[in-house]
Amino acid sequence: MEENKWSIRTEEFDGLSNLELYQILQMRSAIFVVEQDCVYQDLDGLDPSCYHLLLELVANKDKKKLAGYSRVLPPGVEYPGYSSFGRVVVPMEFRGRGYGRLLAEKSLDLCRKKFPDTPVKIMAQSYLTKFYTGLGFEKVGPDYLEDGIEHCDMVARSG
């Protein structure tokens, strides 16, 4: 598909089509389970409570391709007293274009817009600490293993 432009669309769970949900779950499984060789339960029961950000490449009005995804969790869904975001994912074929950063920025913006009085906390893979620090997050607490991969909790500075 020739890449002409991109767009990010936000949907509530009930606003996703069956095909979109299938593409999202397929993408998450391909990367988080297969590529990262991590056997874990991706379908954690939280998706129905989330906002879903879909980064789409648009060739024309009838031809779009899902090129990235993330989800935003309302306060208390993942962490008491915090909104959050996660499952930030970009397939290999679309990496190196800044889409991961774009999705993380838009996810943080959505947290702040939808839940302005709530701080934002995320669970980041530890190797991405510098990436999230660049977006205004601070590491809180020690690294820990989650599904066999080192993670850390991070909280966004006010902004």
Average pLDDT over residues 69-97: 97
**Whole-number pLDDT of residue 1:** 46
Q: How many CA atoms lie within 13 A of 97 on its CB side?
A: 16
**Architecture of the structural domain at 5-156:** 3-Layer(aba) Sandwich (3.40)
**Whole-number pLDDT of residue 37:** 81
What percent of the chain is predicted at pLDDT more than 70?
A: 96
Q: What pLDDT, in 10s, does the model give residues 10-65?
A: 999 999 999 999 999 999 999 988 888 887 788 899 999 999 999 999 877 678 89
Integer Cα distance of 55 and 46 in angstroms:
20
Average pLDDT over residues 55-78: 91
**Whole-number pLDDT of residue 159:** 63
**Whole-number pLDDT of residue 67:** 96
Q: Answer yes or no: are the C-beta atoms of 85 and 72 closer than 8 Å.
A: yes
**Is the per-residue pLDDT at 119 higher than 50?**
yes
